[in-house]
Amino acid sequence: TSGISGVSLFGLASLAGALAHSPSAVVAARAVLGLGAPAIMPLSMAILPRVLATVELPQAIAVWTAATSLGRSMATNSWART
């Protein structure tokens, strides 16, 4: 499935970035991370109903949404400052 391939791609790119010996290799690994990340994002939301009780689910989704929004805004702002 796309989830398994996304996690695999992300994991391999992370390993490649960690073992990179040049800045260009790190940039290339980060580009591949960007390809794997969209496949992982839905998986993080899909885990919530499986590990939480129905009563806890609305609050968990609210926290997940806030954290996702905060992360996106921080990424956007960091690019704007460079």
The confidence score (pLDDT) of residue 45 equals: 85
Please tell me what DSSP assigns to residue 3: H
Given a cut of 60, is residue 79 above it in pLDDT? Answer: no
Asked whether the beta carbons of 18 and 9 are under 8 A apart, the reply is no
**Which pLDDT tens digit goes with each residue over 42-70?**
888 888 888 989 899 999 999 988 988 88
How is residue 73 annotated by DSSP? Answer: H
Gap between the Cα atoms of 50 and 5, Å rounded: 21
pLDDT single digits (tens) 9-55:
999 999 999 999 999 999 999 999 888 888 888 888 888 888 989 89
DSSP letters along 8-71, please?
HHHHHHHHHHHH--SHHHHHHHHHHHHHHHHHHHHHHHHHHHHHS-TTTHHHHHHHHHHHHHHH
pTM of the model: 0.63
